Amino acid sequence: MHEMSLAEGVLQLIEDAAHHQEFAKVTKVWLEIGQLSGVEIEAMKFCFDAVTRDSIADGARLEIITAPGTGWCLECSTTVPMTEVYGECPQCGGYQVQVTGGTEMRVKELEVV
């Protein structure tokens, strides 16, 4: 379950931000997760809750923003939506599609006190 190490990384980012920006508590975290990132949303929520216990983000609400998968089809020279990394182009049916978005995971915003 790589979501545990991802949740630990998110907590580290939160703690670093708290140190630099001098806030004491995080009440909400907006996390953007790409559709093609391979991150299981429910597992991430579970791991976030476990990792943040007794931390600056203990009890913080995790809001997930899903970023759509996109790719560039080399055959029809078009940006297309993607639901899987090695999927076919929905326009021409070809398989020469380079992923251009939806693989990221990032902390978008924090609500702090």
Sorted by where each starts, the structural domains of the chain and their CATH numbers stand as 3-112 (3.30.2320.80)
Could you count the other beta carbons within 10 Å of the beta carbon of residue 84? 11
Whether residue 1 is predicted with pLDDT greater than 70 in this model: the reply is no
Whether residue 109 is predicted with pLDDT greater than 90 in this model: the reply is yes
Token duo for residue 41: 């949303």
Helix axes 41-51, 3-21, angle to 10 degrees: 50
- CB-based burial of residue 44 (10 Å sphere; 0-12 exposed, 13-18 middle, 19+ buried)? buried
12-42 per-position pLDDT tens digit: 999 999 999 999 999 999 999 999 999 999 9
What is each CA distance from 51 to 1, 4, 5, 10, 12, in whole angstroms? 13, 8, 9, 9, 10
pTM over 0.85? The answer is: yes
Position 19 scores a pLDDT of 96
34-83 per-position pLDDT tens digit: 999 999 999 999 999 999 999 999 999 999 999 999 999 999 999 999 99
CA 87 to chain centre: 21
Q: pLDDT tier at 10 (50, 70, 90 boundaries)?
A: very high
